[in-house]
Every structure is written in C-alpha cells, then in structure tokens.
Structure 1
Amino acid sequence: MSDPARTRPARRAVLRGAAATVAGAAGLGAAGCAGPEHPPPAPPEEPVTLGRAARVPVGEAHVFPDHHVVVAQPEPGAYRAFSAVCTHRQCPMAFVERLEVVCTCHGSRFDATTGAVRQGPARDPLPEVPVRAQGDDLVAG
C-alpha cells in the first residue's frame, strides 16, 4: 500500500497549475477581445444601395451587414443610419433588439435612432451615415 502523502500532488504544485490555467485563459480571453483580425470596412462614403426600405418598418431598425450600416425609421419616411461597427473594439454588429444595436463581442448597446451609447464598455456613439429613400430602396453614403 502506498503512502497517500506521496501520491497526491504537493499543494504548491496544484496552486501553480491553477494559476497557469487562469493566466492562460486570461491570455486567450485578451486575444479574443482584441477585435477582428481584419476590421470591417468603414460604412459607405459614396452612395450605395442597401436594400429595400420595407426591411425597416416604422418604429424599428435593421442592420445591413454587407455595408456595416444600421438604419432606423423612428417616424414614417424619416430614416436615420449609423455605422454598425462597435466603437469599443470595432466588432461588426448585426443584431438589433428593441431599437438597440447590440455588440455581441463585449455587450455594448447603442440607440438605433441616435447612435448614442446605452450600455458600455463602448464610450463613443456610432458615427452617423447619410441615408435616403430612393424609390423602394434605401441608399446610404
């Protein structure tokens, strides 16, 4: 029969292993929080057709991920558009919940009708993008 004190690891070894695991996980987490390797392009500066205006009902907002733009229609015929790239770590955003654009990278939330930060860690508002209805389509830039 073996001596139990000799078969179980020393307390210091266990603590060192746990510390290394936490440090490694923190390093991976930090690397994961560094933003995308290839940041998405800026929202359009030149006019570009986003899609059908019908995709943005009155009182709602829609993200056009191909162009990194979120468009809201707070009142009939009045459109507001903003960059759909989070101002915290430049993560592209593609999700709107109750007129809030949500960054799934770190949890920032922005007002889809004003671009204002509603919840951090982002501190800066979303940049506005010119948008207009042209026929049945929305044109940004």
Structure 2
Amino acid sequence: MTHASTRRTILLTTGAVALAAGCGSESGGGSGAASQSAGSGGKELATTADIPVGGGTIFNNQKVVVTQPKKDEFKCFSAICTHQGCTVAKVANGTIDCPCHGSKFHIADGSVAHGPATRPLPAEKFEVRGNSIRLT
C-alpha cells in the first residue's frame, strides 16, 4: 500500500536529513570541530571566541553566518543572499557581503546596507550555551 506524501512529511523528512548531514566542518574560520550536543541545542558551530567582535564567520555547510556586532552579542542569519540566492562570501567592515552582485547586509540585524538586494537576510535560530554556539 502506497501513501501519498504530504507537505508535512516531506518537510519533516527533509529537515531530518538536513540536520543529520548539515553539520560538518565549516569554512571561513572557526575551530573546525563540530561536536554532537547532549541536549536539544543541536551541533556546535563554533565557540564564542571563534567569532570576531565587529565581524562574523560564514559556515558554508550549514548555510549560515554568525556575527558578533558588539562584545558578547551574537546573531545568526541565513548565508543565502536575498537578491538571487548566492552564498555570501565575507564579513568585513560591519557588513556581510555577497560576491555575485555586491549586496551587503548589516551584521547587527541582517538588514540591507547596499543593494541590489531589497530584503534582509533571514535570522536563523541558534543559542549560545556557555561558550558554545549551536543551531537550534
């Protein structure tokens, strides 16, 4: 007997596969070690010391960027540019920069600093537990 897939089934299955496969080593800096979480907080992306104050780190495998606009204030955004879907390439001078068409986003809130993008980078769910930064 065959069951029709529902949107919920597909999303749940896709999410489980993404969680299982999505957390490997990161690029763009960081500790290079991803560890399994004992709690509900997911896998460790980085330690707080890995994220520079006034800057950030891009995690290509997870498609997120973590920033620290001010000391001990961390933010996490999608690393996919809202203009045409390119992956952002660097964090510098207070912005998250896309290499494809020059869009720039503020590290503090993901808002557009320079177009052609017109929409902010979406925030991603994460937590800081001790000195560990984890996707949730």
Is the pair's TM-score, using the shorter chain for normalization, greater than 0.5?
yes
Provide, for residues 110-140 of structure 1, a one-character-per-residue CA deviation record: whole Å limited to 9, x for no partner.
Answer: 0111100011111110000122222432102
Provide, for residues 91-118 of structure 1, a one-character-per-residue CA deviation record: whole Å limited to 9, x for no partner.
Answer: 0113111121111011100011110001
Matched, 1:55 2:58: no
Contact 1:64/1:94 (<8 A) preserved: no
Shifted more, 115-124 versus 70-79: the winner is 70-79
Name the residue aligned to 1:88.
Answer: 83
- The count of corresponding residues between Structure 1 and Structure 2 is 99
Aligned equivalents of 2:91, 2:75: Cα separation in 1: 14
Name the residue aligned to 2:106.
Answer: 111
Name the residue aligned to 2:68.
Answer: 73
Tell me the amino acid that sits aligned with residue 71 of structure 2: P
Name the residue aligned to 1:120.
Answer: 115
The runs of 4+ residues in structure 1 deviating greater than 3 Å are none
Structure of larger gyration radius = 1
Contact 1:81/1:128 (<8 A) preserved: yes
Larger RCO (alpha carbons 8 Å, 6+ apart):
1
Aligned equivalents of 1:125, 1:82: Cα separation in 2: 9
Tell me the amino acid that sits aligned with residue 134 of structure 2: V
Tell me the amino acid that sits aligned with residue 102 of structure 1: D
SS in 2 for 1:121: coil
**Which ranges of structure 2 fall in alignment gaps of 5 or more residues?**
1-17, 24-40
**Which ranges of structure 1 fall in alignment gaps of 5 or more residues?**
1-40
TM-score, scaled to structure 1: 0.62
Aligned equivalents of 1:136, 1:106: Cα separation in 2: 35
TM-superposed CA distance for 1:50, in Å, is 1.2
- Percent of residue pairs bearing the same amino acid type: 35
Instruction: Map 1:5-44 to 2 at 5 A.
Output: none
Larger helix share, 1 or 2: 1
